[in-house]
Copies of this chain bind each other. A is one copy, B any other.
Amino acid sequence: MGELRHRADQFTVLVRQVPLCPEHNTRGCAVDHFFSKHHRFSYHSYQMLYDGKDLEYLLGKQKKLKKELEDKRHTDMLSNGSQEHKISTSEEKLREITNMICHLQSETMLREKELPVAFVTFKSRRSAALAAQTQQHSNPLELITEMAPEPRDVSWRNLAIPQKLLPLNKIGVILAAALLTIFFAIPVTAVQGIAKYEKLKKWFPPAMAIEFIPGLSSVVTGYLPSAILKGFMYIIPFAMLGMAYLGGSISKSNEEIKACNMVFYFLMGNVFFLSLISGSLLDEIGEYLTHPRDIPSHLAAAVSAQAEFFMTYILTDGLSGFSLEILQLGLVLFDIMRSCTYGRGKERTPYLFSFPYFRVIPTVSLSIMIGMIYAVVAPLMLPFLVGYFCLGYIVYFNQMEDVYEATYDTCGRFWPSIHHYIFVSIILMQITMVGLFGLKSKPSAAIATVPLILITIAYNEYCKIRFLPSFKHFPIQTAVEIDEEDEKNGEMGTHYGDAATAYNRHQPCLERVISSAEAPTNLSQPLLGTESI
């Protein structure tokens, strides 16, 4: 609770589709008018979003120039004053850019770059929760409110996408992810076909060198297709994250949750189902759609046949996954490649990444799914899975503590997705059970299992109405409780004050410029503060 009480997003509502104020011809004015009229006693201030492409470009340029200047000064000191002229021109350029940024960041200039998006801060969590969950304008497509994400979690670039295009973006991303999932096998098998050792020799003669080392040739022939598949698989989560980014989520955490879902379905299709079936996923989907009655028995037969394969999968891929996670092989490779190519000679900036939920959760969920399904078919797999999860716990505990940095608070928002994956696993397990009883010629047992599936679905529906709203809305009761605690401590004012400035501070195009040369006077003042009432 203590941690929660300092969150700026609890006081803030994200407002989209802000209309233009007919009098003053600005959107900020419209937000201010509306909320000070309709939420008179609880409205505190607003912060508009600006189209900051030019500004961001200039800020980037300024940073680069500053660094160059520092470097030059450094070399200058070593070589004793030979490049003074160069330095002074650089300084002149830097000053010019800084002035330009200051000019663009001035109130009047920003007003022209207003986007129809605003962050509105209220004087209490209760009022913010009320405003976020209600329809404000009589036109439901104007002044759409929702709870704001954490300031550091906001996806600024996505907020600039016009609301009208969002449905298209979403449909596009879902389509792209579905196509990638269904047709993934085609490029992989194509590359695997090309990368056969015999063909390699033909196209890339130096590869023949392999033959001179005894035994290596068989290793290459054996492992190359598998390595290619693994390589493709490793890229998928990042590709999905990139696609989710295009989907127009308002926060980075939402993007990651979306990517997480897409990766899970990808793994389910291309690792689980593709291992079960002979032929492409597309053929199998067509088969299932035309004969939906045969699904259980088909599934049960395929699952029984592949028990050994999945045991090997858990033992090899699972454990190799953990060692790769510790070694951070992907990052090492990426870093080596970067330093050898475009980044050669550049000073390396130290990097620290956030925990890759979108990669880890689907992988672990896939193991849960395999465990669930084989709990009926081949229960001997379970001890291996217990070992896998224990090892995973140790590995990820270490990684979370020492390797990754928390860039935002997930607040358990991944749980509904994990719940959904487990639900899908249980349903698949029960369908397999029905098929298995059918195969073992126990039709009564098979029929008796069908109600179990219905009960599972009903339970899932219950969970949706009982627990899912807690992830979507901030209940008034909780808001009032935290508010009252704050009021008792007399911290309310500072908290909502902090909240009002937080979104201003984090907006990338409003970053304050500190010129190393003379600082213009207007820079020492707070930049286009949130207009308070």
Give the B-binding residues of A (Cβ under 8 A): 34, 37-39, 126, 129-130, 133-141, 465-467, 469-470, 473, 475-478, 480
A477 with B138: CB separation less than 8 A = yes
- A137, B476: Cα distance in complex, Å: 7
B475 with A135: CB separation less than 8 A = yes
28 residue pairs from A and B, CB less than 8 Å apart: A34-B477, A37-B480, A38-B126, A38-B476, A38-B477, A39-B476, A130-B130, A130-B134, A133-B133, A134-B134, A134-B473, A134-B475, A135-B469, A135-B475, A135-B476, A136-B475, A136-B477, A137-B475, A137-B477, A138-B470, A138-B475, A138-B477, A138-B478, A139-B466, A140-B467, A140-B469, A140-B470, A141-B466
B133 with A135: CB separation less than 8 A = yes
- A38, B139: Cα distance in complex, Å: 28
The 5 closest A-B pairs by CB, nearest first: A140-B469, A133-B134, A135-B473, A138-B475, A130-B130
Name the residue of chain B whose CB is nearest to the CB of A478. B138
Q: Which of B37, B140, B473, B480 contacts A466 (CB 8 A)?
A: B140
A135 cross-chain contacts in B, Cβ below 8 A: 133, 469, 473, 475-476
Quote the shortest CB–CB distance from A473 to chain B (angstroms). 4
A480 cross-chain contacts in B, Cβ below 8 A: 37-38
B134 with A476: CB separation less than 8 A = yes
Quote the shortest CB–CB distance from A451 to chain B (angstroms). 15
A465 with B141: CB separation less than 8 A = yes
A129 with B138, Cβ < 8 A, contacts A38-B477, A38-B480 known: no
B477 with A140: CB separation less than 8 A = no
For the complex with contacts A39-B476, A134-B134, A140-B466, 14 further pairs of A-B residues with Cβ separation under 8 Å are A37-B480, A38-B477, A133-B134, A134-B476, A135-B469, A135-B473, A135-B475, A136-B475, A137-B475, A138-B478, A139-B466, A140-B473, A141-B465, A141-B466
A129 with B140: CB separation less than 8 A = no
How many of these chains are in the complex?
Answer: 2
Name the residue of chain B whose CB is nearest to the CB of A129. B134
Quote the shortest CB–CB distance from A217 to chain B (angstroms). 53
Quote the shortest CB–CB distance from A16 to chain B (angstroms). 13
A39 cross-chain contacts in B, Cβ below 8 A: 476
- A130, B37: Cα distance in complex, Å: 15
Name the residue of chain B whose CB is nearest to the CB of A141. B466
- A248, B101: Cα distance in complex, Å: 63
- A126, B38: Cα distance in complex, Å: 8
- A465, B135: Cα distance in complex, Å: 12
- A126, B37: Cα distance in complex, Å: 12
- A139, B473: Cα distance in complex, Å: 11
- A133, B466: Cα distance in complex, Å: 17
- A126, B473: Cα distance in complex, Å: 20
- A139, B133: Cα distance in complex, Å: 16
A141 cross-chain contacts in B, Cβ below 8 A: 465-466
- A476, B480: Cα distance in complex, Å: 21
Name the residue of chain B whose CB is nearest to the CB of A473. B135
- A130, B40: Cα distance in complex, Å: 14
Quote the shortest CB–CB distance from A475 to chain B (angstroms). 5
Quote the shortest CB–CB distance from A369 to chain B (angstroms). 28
- A34, B135: Cα distance in complex, Å: 23
- A478, B475: Cα distance in complex, Å: 24
Quote the shortest CB–CB distance from A277 to chain B (angstroms). 25
- A470, B467: Cα distance in complex, Å: 27
Quote the shortest CB–CB distance from A10 to chain B (angstroms). 14
- A160, B370: Cα distance in complex, Å: 46
Quote the shortest CB–CB distance from A206 to chain B (angstroms). 53
- A126, B470: Cα distance in complex, Å: 24
A478 cross-chain contacts in B, Cβ below 8 A: 138
A126 cross-chain contacts in B, Cβ below 8 A: 38
Quote the shortest CB–CB distance from A142 to chain B (angstroms). 9
- A473, B138: Cα distance in complex, Å: 9
A138 cross-chain contacts in B, Cβ below 8 A: 470, 475, 477-478
A38 cross-chain contacts in B, Cβ below 8 A: 126, 476-477, 480
A133 cross-chain contacts in B, Cβ below 8 A: 133-135
Pick from A465, A469, A477, A478 the residue with the most CB of B within 10 Å.
Answer: A477
